A and B are shown apart, each in its own frame.
Chain A
């Protein structure tokens, strides 16, 4: 049993981009080459914090084969980028704030020459004190990393009176949770080719999660019209949020313009680790209290996020954490304060889960500890405090009614029953345990944010139903989603469809492929366009065939006479209507938001998950192995079966890594692990051989929003479930990820030793 579908069983469809992927024929953007192409390399700071006293490129320029070197002097437009505000210099002029800061970029005939040229660029630094701890950064005497100081963003929400609430509590748990800096570790590092076109325009073949946003940011930097820049952004070898922000594009573009040649940059893994975004390390203090009956009365949260040197999406991530701090529970008194703080560490930004992972780890940790204090079954305790169908959202806002929270809890309860019987112990030095956690996760960018969506359906001259969206295929299976939805709606075949994504010159505005929004917005767009499109195409068919329009229907290969016979193929219809204006339907709308939300970024549509983890803990080493990982997801109808399952399983394993092994450690502003030898992600040996995913497809009656995305939800509740399972096995509570074996071993040893023989 691999995936259970509650409502119907969908055929496993082969992805449209599958063939190219399994044969290796598909060209990723880093696989491209062009005639006369040069290779680019970026010189990054060796210092985590320093003044730049001088940059000398003279010697490097002398090196034969070097075609161009650019520094801050060569940035024609704004020397800055950032999805929210452009505080990160494209090329640093007088100061560096982390080891990923770029100082110069070189284009040369070969990578080797470019590498050699980097060695010849001389940068004189005057070291400045390095701030590695967000708490220190907030100290009034700390050096200021940015003109407005070191506090990037503060987010605050309160309701009721927490202190008063605590007065009435019979049990209070107060803990500090620490979450690590996780690396996206997409298998394809950042890269691509930037090509100057003969007409003076620029084509940027580099993966991103939002082509139009790249175009906008690049136009600012290059001082070019947006329409003179074309972003081709698919396919990509993974992103997970990490390629949403600009990475190598500005350097490739500057070099391409400087040399008038195509320039390829493909970062090595070490370059990628050093410059790339990471998940925000957070320190979360939570104080939560319950009364005797197990009602949560008061919940006080403080979140301190290390956002690194620049803003990127730091403020939005923090808002998300704050919003999700109450989780799916109804709590009368709440106070949440979040601070996102600049340091000289690596830049933290968008990462699958978007701040939900960290805060859910803390929250579910609190819930389990409270249940223990109450001597109450943790599921029963959750149930008692769980939101109802019509409960407001976590921050009191009106949200689309949903029974998701209860549904996932019920589902996991069943799984727990099934699971408890099969604990077979192979070894006297191993103990096993089971843990459960649940989560809520908002989709879309949230209220108060520009969050447009849209799409286009057209009937091409070649007789294809063309579906165009401004979303990107990062690997998640967007193409399969579009294909499935179009096929379902129009009953046509794969061959009848042409999908256009990932090219700003030919796609409509759909917004970003982030925040679990793409699937949901494709579905919504099609709902908005389908009638008009169908009416129009049948109308045309009717005119061409002289058959009454109400007897015609769309189907495989063409237009059918009420399901019985094909009366005209799409190709023929196109041929016969060549002289007519192109049939094109477009829609644009905004991602649905809560009508009364007061806190920026809070959501209207939510998905839910529950996770059951069973672990084995080795008493001799403290090693934890996850034996079972099961998830139940409530996110509306399943669009693409393999895609859904893959997102949840893949997300689950990414979170398993987060729980047990992943940490991009920094010492004094420098990365300790720079490649996959020490930055460890799960291998096939670290995962349960069989995982189960249950999709709860149910929506409330009258829900018009369709499928919610599942790109992130599978990563959220895994860590707390694993940690609870460890507790179940050993009696030790863990507050810090990744779980330290050393800590566990110590804890277990203090709990008395077994006899050796």
Chain B
């Protein structure tokens, strides 16, 4: 049986709706006592830690709207759509379908057996997943359902507002011309929660000037963050050593990670700063 801390949970019910509306109605009906569940990988780790397991689990497995992938046109631009129930391993394995930044992010999450069940939707919805900085850096948009409407919103608004809507899909621009990086630090080489994750994208012109800079940072105990100041600092300029030094300081000021039992905020800031600066230096010079 699943366990919540040391207790076995025996009366949890699983509801398996077949449409968005049904799923939403069930959630409305049971309110706080119910949760959506996709792969369930994250939720089970939470329960094991003693967090409350809801009485009702609303499985999204049979909801067709959240499945599959494809191409969408948004404001005249081509996007790849990833249904919320796309597994991380599917994303990891299909380099030809998905942007390399997404593939790289997926590669850095858990291990194959977990990735085979873990979904993109679940990774985003929990607010701390390692896909989030990648999606932030890519200027993704997200399609959600809030009971009445299916609507599209910028990914960073969704994250900022801790939205509780049902995630249908995320769309990422098909722009392959941007330079990008993604790095995650764990307490060992892999298969552990993130201490710090950084992701970034930018355009580089012939004059080596950066534009459309997007920088995002997060961590398993740190809220995902866009580094707007840093982006502004880099926008339109060609990085010099002095400017990169400035960038370094700005990251340390702007990034506000938490101190947890295993790492201090100071360390997380240093790593984030080191990484972002060295990656920009590597990719832009």
Give A contacts to B, CB under 8 Å.
Answer: 111-112, 115-116, 118-119, 268, 270-271, 429, 619-621, 623, 625, 660-661, 665, 667, 672, 675, 677-678, 680, 682-683, 685-686, 741-742, 745, 749, 755-757
Known: A756-B277, A757-B241. 4 other contacts (CB 8 A): A111-B1, A619-B274, A675-B48, A677-B192
Contact A115 B241 (CB under 8 A): no
Q: How far is the CB of B80 from chain A (nearest CB, A)?
A: 29
Contact B8 A116 (CB under 8 A): yes
* Chain A residues whose C-beta falls within 8 Å of the C-beta of B267 in the assembled complex: 741-742, 745
* Chain B residues whose C-beta falls within 8 Å of the C-beta of A677 in the assembled complex: 45, 192-193
> With A111-B8, A756-B244 in contact, do A745 and B271 touch (Cβ < 8 Å)?
yes
Interface residues of B in 39-73 (CB under 8 A from A): 45, 48
Choose from B1, B7, B191, B261 the contact partner of A672 (Cβ within 8 Å): B261
- For the complex of A and B, list the 8 residue pairs with the smallest distance between their C-beta atoms, beginning with the closest: A620-B274, A112-B8, A685-B189, A756-B244, A742-B267, A756-B281, A115-B8, A685-B190
**Is there a chain A Cβ closer than 8 Å to B278's Cβ?**
yes
Nearest A residue to B191, CB-CB = A683
**Is there a chain A Cβ closer than 8 Å to B188's Cβ?**
yes
* Chain A residues whose C-beta falls within 8 Å of the C-beta of B48 in the assembled complex: 270, 675
Q: How far is the CB of B242 from chain A (nearest CB, A)?
A: 9
In the complex, what distance in Å separates the CA atom of A268 from the CA atom of B285? 53
Contact B244 A757 (CB under 8 A): yes
* Chain A residues whose C-beta falls within 8 Å of the C-beta of B274 in the assembled complex: 619-621
In the complex, what distance in Å separates the CA atom of A667 from the CA atom of B261? 9
* Chain A residues whose C-beta falls within 8 Å of the C-beta of B241 in the assembled complex: 755-757
Choose from A270, A619, A660 the contact partner of B188 (Cβ within 8 Å): A660
Contact B1 A680 (CB under 8 A): no
* Chain B residues whose C-beta falls within 8 Å of the C-beta of A745 in the assembled complex: 267, 270-271
Q: How far is the CB of A452 from chain B (nearest CB, A)?
A: 41
* Chain A residues whose C-beta falls within 8 Å of the C-beta of B6 in the assembled complex: 115, 118-119, 268, 270-271
Contact B185 A678 (CB under 8 A): no
Some 29 contacts from A to B, beta carbons below 8 A apart, are A111-B1, A111-B8, A112-B8, A112-B10, A115-B6, A115-B7, A115-B8, A116-B7, A119-B7, A270-B6, A429-B278, A621-B271, A621-B274, A680-B192, A682-B188, A683-B111, A683-B188, A685-B188, A685-B189, A685-B191, A686-B188, A742-B264, A742-B266, A742-B267, A745-B270, A756-B239, A756-B277, A756-B281, A757-B240
Contact B189 A680 (CB under 8 A): no
Contact with A along B223-265 (1 / 0, CB 8 A): 0000000000000000111001100100000000000011110
Nearest B residue to A271, CB-CB = B6
Contact A665 B261 (CB under 8 A): yes
Contact B281 A749 (CB under 8 A): no
**Is there a chain A Cβ closer than 8 Å to B181's Cβ?**
no
**Is there a chain A Cβ closer than 8 Å to B155's Cβ?**
no
* Chain A residues whose C-beta falls within 8 Å of the C-beta of B275 in the assembled complex: 620-621
Nearest A residue to B111, CB-CB = A683
* Chain A residues whose C-beta falls within 8 Å of the C-beta of B192 in the assembled complex: 677, 680
Contact B278 A680 (CB under 8 A): no
* Chain A residues whose C-beta falls within 8 Å of the C-beta of B239 in the assembled complex: 756-757
The count of residues in chain B whose C-beta lies closer than 8 Å to any C-beta of chain A is 37
Contact A661 B187 (CB under 8 A): yes
In the complex, what distance in Å separates the CA atom of A619 from the CA atom of B264? 18
* Chain B residues whose C-beta falls within 8 Å of the C-beta of A685 in the assembled complex: 188-191
In the complex, what distance in Å separates the CA atom of A472 from the CA atom of B190? 34
For B8, B48, B188, B281, the residue with the greatest tally of chain A CB atoms inside 10 Å of its CB is B188
Nearest B residue to A621, CB-CB = B271
For B1, B6, B48, B244, the residue with the greatest tally of chain A CB atoms inside 10 Å of its CB is B6
Choose from A620, A683, A756 the contact partner of B271 (Cβ within 8 Å): A620
* Chain B residues whose C-beta falls within 8 Å of the C-beta of A661 in the assembled complex: 187-188
Contact A620 B278 (CB under 8 A): yes
* Chain A residues whose C-beta falls within 8 Å of the C-beta of B285 in the assembled complex: 757
* Chain B residues whose C-beta falls within 8 Å of the C-beta of A757 in the assembled complex: 239-241, 244, 281, 285
Contact B187 A680 (CB under 8 A): yes
* Chain B residues whose C-beta falls within 8 Å of the C-beta of A665 in the assembled complex: 261-262
Choose from B45, B189, B193 the contact partner of A625 (Cβ within 8 Å): B189
Q: How far is the CB of B197 from chain A (nearest CB, A)?
A: 12
In the complex, what distance in Å separates the CA atom of A680 from the CA atom of B185? 14
* Chain B residues whose C-beta falls within 8 Å of the C-beta of A660 in the assembled complex: 188
In the complex, what distance in Å separates the CA atom of A625 from the CA atom of B190? 12
In the complex, what distance in Å separates the CA atom of A674 from the CA atom of B275? 31
In the complex, what distance in Å separates the CA atom of A112 from the CA atom of B111? 30
Contact with A along B185-219 (1 / 0, CB 8 A): 10111111100000000000000000000000000
Q: How far is the CB of A258 from chain B (nearest CB, A)?
A: 22
Choose from B8, B111, B262 the contact partner of A678 (Cβ within 8 Å): B262
* Chain B residues whose C-beta falls within 8 Å of the C-beta of A621 in the assembled complex: 185, 271, 274-275
* Chain B residues whose C-beta falls within 8 Å of the C-beta of A749 in the assembled complex: 270
* Chain A residues whose C-beta falls within 8 Å of the C-beta of B240 in the assembled complex: 757
Nearest B residue to A687, CB-CB = B189
* Chain B residues whose C-beta falls within 8 Å of the C-beta of A672 in the assembled complex: 261
Q: How far is the CB of B68 from chain A (nearest CB, A)?
A: 31
In the complex, what distance in Å separates the CA atom of A111 from the CA atom of B8? 8
In the complex, what distance in Å separates the CA atom of A686 from the CA atom of B271? 20
* Chain A residues whose C-beta falls within 8 Å of the C-beta of B271 in the assembled complex: 620-621, 745
> With A665-B261, A749-B270, A756-B245 in contact, do A680 and B188 touch (Cβ < 8 Å)?
yes
Interface residues of B in 56-103 (CB under 8 A from A): none
In the complex, what distance in Å separates the CA atom of A672 from the CA atom of B187? 15
In the complex, what distance in Å separates the CA atom of A675 from the CA atom of B239? 44
Q: How far is the CB of A687 from chain B (nearest CB, A)?
A: 9
Nearest A residue to B185, CB-CB = A621
* Chain A residues whose C-beta falls within 8 Å of the C-beta of B262 in the assembled complex: 665, 678
Nearest B residue to A685, CB-CB = B189
Choose from B189, B277, B281 the contact partner of A683 (Cβ within 8 Å): B189
* Chain A residues whose C-beta falls within 8 Å of the C-beta of B1 in the assembled complex: 111-112
Nearest B residue to A741, CB-CB = B267
In the complex, what distance in Å separates the CA atom of A689 from the CA atom of B189? 13
In the complex, what distance in Å separates the CA atom of A623 from the CA atom of B275? 13
* Chain B residues whose C-beta falls within 8 Å of the C-beta of A755 in the assembled complex: 241
In the complex, what distance in Å separates the CA atom of A322 from the CA atom of B53? 50
Nearest A residue to B1, CB-CB = A112
In the complex, what distance in Å separates the CA atom of A116 from the CA atom of B10? 10
* Chain A residues whose C-beta falls within 8 Å of the C-beta of B193 in the assembled complex: 677-678
Q: How far is the CB of A406 from chain B (nearest CB, A)?
A: 36
Q: How far is the CB of A497 from chain B (nearest CB, A)?
A: 39
* Chain A residues whose C-beta falls within 8 Å of the C-beta of B266 in the assembled complex: 742
* Chain B residues whose C-beta falls within 8 Å of the C-beta of A686 in the assembled complex: 188-189
Q: How far is the CB of B47 from chain A (nearest CB, A)?
A: 12
* Chain B residues whose C-beta falls within 8 Å of the C-beta of A742 in the assembled complex: 263-264, 266-267
Nearest A residue to B192, CB-CB = A680
* Chain B residues whose C-beta falls within 8 Å of the C-beta of A268 in the assembled complex: 3, 6
Q: How far is the CB of B92 from chain A (nearest CB, A)?
A: 15
Nearest B residue to A657, CB-CB = B188
* Chain B residues whose C-beta falls within 8 Å of the C-beta of A116 in the assembled complex: 7-8
Contact with A along B268-285 (1 / 0, CB 8 A): 001100110110010001
Nearest A residue to B247, CB-CB = A756
Q: How far is the CB of B173 from chain A (nearest CB, A)?
A: 28
In the complex, what distance in Å separates the CA atom of A708 from the CA atom of B250? 59
Q: How far is the CB of B99 from chain A (nearest CB, A)?
A: 24
Contact with A along B162-173 (1 / 0, CB 8 A): 000000000000
* Chain B residues whose C-beta falls within 8 Å of the C-beta of A619 in the assembled complex: 274
Contact with A along B3-28 (1 / 0, CB 8 A): 10011101000000000000000000
* Chain B residues whose C-beta falls within 8 Å of the C-beta of A118 in the assembled complex: 6
Nearest A residue to B193, CB-CB = A677
In the complex, what distance in Å separates the CA atom of A741 from the CA atom of B262? 11
Q: How far is the CB of B114 from chain A (nearest CB, A)?
A: 11
Nearest A residue to B6, CB-CB = A115
In the complex, what distance in Å separates the CA atom of A225 from the CA atom of B267? 59
Nearest A residue to B277, CB-CB = A756
* Chain A residues whose C-beta falls within 8 Å of the C-beta of B7 in the assembled complex: 115-116, 119
* Chain B residues whose C-beta falls within 8 Å of the C-beta of A680 in the assembled complex: 187-188, 192
Q: How far is the CB of B46 from chain A (nearest CB, A)?
A: 11
